Structure 1
Amino acid sequence: MNKAFKALSDPTRRKILEYLKDNDMLAGEIADKFDMSKPSISHHLSILKNAELVLWEKEGQNIIYSLNTTVVQEVMKWFLDFREEK
């Protein structure tokens, strides 16, 4: 879960997750939402993949990203459990 928390520490990566909350998206569609280079977005997506916060599927030359709700739920559970311990 440490990788997930590290991934969530960046506002760009949190914004990517917000976009994926509603719809699966192509890498290019995600990149179009930001004013930064495609390699920079690719780096952020790589960190999210490594943390297992996003799932990806290659379809031809496109990569489709989706939110991995299982890991997001685990992170939320940790926060809720942490809150209850106080």
Structure 2
Amino acid sequence: MPTKLIYDGNILRQARIAQNKSIGDIAYTLCSSSHQISDIELNSATSYGFLRQIVIRRYAELLSIDLNTVITQFESDLDIIN
């Protein structure tokens, strides 16, 4: 089911820096690539599909950030139809 996810990767980036963690640290912990984490922080992770949603959620949890502060809009096709 396609979804529209709008998020603020800069919040994740700022929290990562404040916690003195590198992109490599995050990528290793989340079993992702550094490139993927960098793309998420720059809001340019458009080609990762559903995996992007999972990584963003796990990234926020890792940094102890409320996911609702990162995700600004989430619509599934069912939300649009209803």
Asked if these proteins are the same fold (TM beyond 0.5), I'd say no
Instruction: Report the TM-score, using the length of structure 1 for normalisation.
Output: 0.30
> As a proportion of its length, which structure holds more helix?
1
Q: Comparing both chains, which one has the higher relative contact order based on Cα–Cα distances under 8 Å and sequence gaps of 6 or more? A: 2
